[in-house]
Structure 1
Amino acid sequence: MAVPKKRTSKSKKNARKSVWKNKANKQAQKALSLAKSVLKGKSTSFIYTLNEED
């Protein structure tokens, strides 16, 4: 099993964590934007069907 030789610095650890969180935040913003456009009926990049049985 591979073991790191030296301890990772706080700045390097925080930089990696920041990149990971920023990616997640960007995806969350895209998902929210798509959900809003679907609810308003203005979505052009998302295909879905409406079941109006009621």
Structure 2
Amino acid sequence: MAVPKKRTSISKKRVRKNIWKKKGYWAALKAFSLAKSLSTGNSKSFFVRKKNNTTLG
């Protein structure tokens, strides 16, 4: 049965955890930025159909 020989140091564990957290942070930041650009209409990567508010009659 495969068993790790030595225990991972606390500092190495902390570094890996911070890298994992930072990936989530950047993904959330990117998603928020995209949502903001879509809501303001400044998006260059998405084409959003504008609704016409003209009433007939």
TM category, shorter: 0.7 to 0.9
Look up the match of 1:33: 33
The Cα offsets for residues 12-36 of structure 1, whole Å up to 9 and x where unpaired, read as 0000000011111011000000000
Superposition TM-score, scaled by structure 2 size: 0.76
- The runs of 5 or more residues in structure 1 that have no matched partner are none
Deviation >6 Å, runs of 4+: none
Identity over the aligned pairs, expressed in percent? 57
Look up the match of 1:11: 11
Q: Aligned pairs, how many?
A: 53
Q: What's the C-alpha RMSD, in Å, of the aligned pairs?
A: 2.2
- The runs of 5 or more residues in structure 2 that have no matched partner are 52-57
Superposition TM-score, scaled by structure 1 size: 0.80
